[in-house]
């Protein structure tokens, strides 16, 4: 299906959100009626919730065809890793939005409305969303789904071989602006991108590596700032 039409893409996203919300709402109703001793009614809500889940899945498959798996046996290991990496990417994106934008905004509005219970709820969810984003980042590292790091290592090996033959590596200009210079952890190969920063550790997007506090630690392995070295990207041929 061609989703180049922005209205269709938005409608699918809205439909997915509606079906997903209905699923959780009906599961809540199922739990309430179960507590009230209304077993059959609870069962009805739970069955309907399952149907809503299938509807949501159908919408999401149209939104993200790159995640649709028709024949697992036909996929290469690289294709499987790409799909799993995309799932983590979308998870990180969603959780990061929640703790950097959505919940902080909701919290401020709740304070303005003097709704202390909502403030407590939103603040708790902000913390949990941050933890979830960090868990997904660590999972990407632990499951070997950080493709850019693997490419970096492969390039390092190739350049080392070339150096033995007296061939200098083709790198970007050394005079790169600090604001865009990436740094890589020598211990775990986590890459710090100043454009993204490290919101989990309080480092705002756009923060150059030199401006990071000296007590900052690698969010993946806990190594010190001194463990990082400039990350140079090869110039495309």
Q: Two tokens at 158?
A: 């190739």
Q: What is the pLDDT of residue 169?
A: 47
pLDDT in tens, 42-61: 999 999 999 999 999 999 99
Query: Which has more pLDDT, 179 or 159?
Result: 179
Determine the 3-state secondary structure of 234 from DSSP.
Answer: strand
pTM assigned to the model: 0.59
Query: Is the pLDDT assigned to residue 172 strictly greater than 50?
Result: no
Residue partners of 63: CB distance under 8 A and separation at least 6: 3, 9, 12, 13, 16
| Residue 177 to residue 112: CA distance in whole angstroms | 41
Phi, psi of 167 (to 5 degrees): -100, 120
Tell me the DSSP string of 158-212.
HHHHHHHTTPPP-B--TT--TTT-EEEETTT--EE-TTT-BGGGTB-TT--GGGS
Q: What is the pLDDT confidence band of residue 231, given thresholds at 50, 70 and 90?
A: confident
pLDDT at 170 over 50: no
pLDDT band at 74 (very low <50, low <70, confident <90, very high): very high
- Helix (H) or strand (E) segment spanning residue 231: strand 228-231
Q: How many residues does the chain have?
A: 237
- pLDDT of 18: 95
Answer yes or no: is pLDDT of 152 > 60: no
Nearest CA to 178 among 209, 216, 205, 212? Answer: 209
């Amino acid at each position: 299906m061609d989703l180049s039409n922005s209205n269709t893409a938005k409608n699918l996203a809205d439909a997915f959100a509606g079906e997903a919300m209905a699923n959780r709402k009906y599961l809540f109703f199922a739990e309430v009626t179960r507590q009230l001793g209304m077993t059959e009614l609870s069962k009805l809500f739970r069955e309907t919730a399952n149907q809503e889940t299938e509807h949501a899945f159908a919408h999401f498959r149209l939104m993200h065809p790159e995640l649709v798996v028709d024949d697992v046996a036909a996929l290469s290991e690289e294709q499987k890793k790409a799909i799993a990496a995309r799932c983590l990417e979308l998870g990180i994106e969603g959780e990061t939005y929640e703790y950097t934008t959505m919940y902080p905004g909701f919290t401020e509005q709740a304070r303005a409305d003097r709704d202390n219970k909502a403030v407590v709820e939103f603040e708790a969810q902000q913390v949990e969303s941050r933890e979830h984003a960090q868990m997904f980042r660590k999972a990407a590292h632990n499951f070997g789904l950080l493709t850019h790091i693997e490419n970096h290592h492969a390039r390092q090996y190739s350049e080392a071989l070339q150096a033995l033959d007296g061939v200098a590596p083709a790198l970007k200009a050394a005079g790169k602006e600090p604001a865009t210079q990436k740094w890589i952890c020598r211990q775990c190969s986590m890459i710090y991108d100043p454009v993204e920063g490290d919101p989990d550790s309080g480092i705002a997007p756009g923060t150059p590596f030199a401006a990071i506090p000296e007590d900052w630690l690698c969010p993946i392995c806990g190594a010190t700032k001194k463990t990082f070295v400039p990350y140079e990207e090869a110039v495309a041929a």
